[in-house]
Chains A and B, each alone.
Chain A
Amino acid sequence: MKVWLTALLLALAAFSLQAGEAAPLAADEAAEKRLVDISSELRCLVCQNESLSGSHAELANDLRREIRTLIKDGKSDSEIMDFMVSRYGDFVRYRPPLKLTTLLLWFGPVLLLVGGLGALVLYLRRRNQAIVDTPLSTDEQGRADRLLNVKDQEQ
């Protein structure tokens, strides 16, 4: 019994130690979640194929710290986004806004798809016209039947 009690106490102690360590993050869980949400929408400019939330680059660290401060100051998500875009440009956003300069970026793939489908339809139609149905004459039909029958008997 005593042994069990000691073990339980030790386990609890270990647990509370762990919990104590994680406290700073847990205390501001909502803010941390917002930080992750915002920073996964942003590109790290040092390693451009990584998001700001996933990057280990020095600048990403600085920018996450900056976003944390902005959250603490009570700034809204769109205000934080504006803060980043005003410094690093639309390129920093993974989902750039719809503008004249980004039209091709947004609609380019659709344009390619429509072009491809158009080309396919055109090709298929032309092919249909090119293939002319030429029925066999009775003589040819007879020859074909004979040939086919010979094959059947051989097997």
Chain B
Amino acid sequence: MNRFLWPLVGFAVLVVLLAVGLSLDPRDVPSPLVGKPAPTFSLPQVAAPERNFSPKDMLGKVWLLNVWSTWCVSCRQEHPVLVEMAKTKTVTLVGLNYKEVRGDGELDADKIAPDAERKLALERSNAWLDKHGNPYLLSVLDLDGRVGIDYGVYGVPETYIIDKAGVIRMKHTGPISPDAFSGKILPLVTELSK
């Protein structure tokens, strides 16, 4: 009996290990920023570039920082969910427009002067929001992706849930699906808003 049992047990263990391994997403790297204060920054707003926004402006509120860009294909997939999310008025969204010009593989950013880059980024992001709807309270412009590095951004879109004390409570990598919103994000936001 033992002669057959042990290989079978070994096989079962292997199957379980492989099944767990396959169901993990290698792109979903746990962020060390969860539980830490959101890195500070001060960046010009997309709709009103003469005004800057800083995370400390949101102290006392629960909010979502959503990293997006017009060249980002998954962002377009996610966008309708964000628009719906905004309609429910349950969450406050702030957009971080990430490397609008430099991140676009079709543009040669080296040949664009800094002033022109800023102008082009503003035009492109505002036009995109006009066309697809604007779910954000406001968006800010991270032209060189420096703020993105502070937040550990490695693939757009990414979303951070920040609590009233300005601490990051969750990071969602990749587009937010309706299920992820109702199952993960909304419950946490409701909990934090209490």
Contacts and interface: CB of A to CB of B under 8 A. Distances in A.
Nearest to B33: A87
Interface in A77-100: 85-91
B31 interface: yes
A87 B30 contact: no
Interface string B16-48: 000000000011011111000000000000000
Question: What's the dominant secondary structure at chain A's contact region?
Answer: helix
A88 B173 CA distance: 12
B31 A89 contact: yes
Interface stretch (B49-57, B80-88, B115-123, B151-159): B151-159
B29 A87 contact: no
B98 to A, nearest CB: 10
Nearest to B150: A87
B149 interface: yes
B149 A89 contact: no
A89 to B, nearest CB: 4
Interface residues of B, number: 19
Interface residues of A, number: 15
B103 interface: yes
B32 A46 contact: no
A55 to B, nearest CB: 11
B30 A45 contact: no
A117 to B, nearest CB: 16
Given A58-B103, A62-B145, A88 B152 contact: yes
A48 interface: yes
Contacts of B152: 87-89
A126 B97 CA distance: 67
A87 B102 CA distance: 21
B184 to A, nearest CB: 20
A40 to B, nearest CB: 18
A58 to B, nearest CB: 6
Report which residue of B32, B33, B102, B150 has the largest number of chain A beta carbons within 10 angstroms of its beta carbon: B32
Contact of A62 (B149, B151, B155): B149
A124 to B, nearest CB: 16
A89 B29 contact: yes
A88 B154 contact: yes
Contacts of B144: 62
A19 to B, nearest CB: 24
Given A46-B154, A62-B145, A89 B30 contact: yes
Report which residue of B31, B102, B152 has the largest number of chain A beta carbons within 10 angstroms of its beta carbon: B152
A32 interface: no
A129 to B, nearest CB: 15
B64 to A, nearest CB: 19
21 contacts: A45-B29, A45-B154, A46-B155, A58-B99, A58-B105, A59-B145, A62-B144, A62-B145, A63-B149, A66-B149, A86-B33, A87-B33, A87-B150, A88-B29, A88-B32, A88-B154, A89-B29, A89-B30, A89-B32, A90-B32, A91-B30
Interface of B: 26-27, 29-33, 99, 102-103, 105, 144-145, 149-152, 154-155
Given A58-B102, A88-B29, A89-B32, 13 more contacts: A45-B29, A45-B155, A48-B26, A48-B27, A58-B103, A59-B154, A63-B149, A86-B32, A87-B32, A87-B149, A89-B30, A91-B29, A91-B30
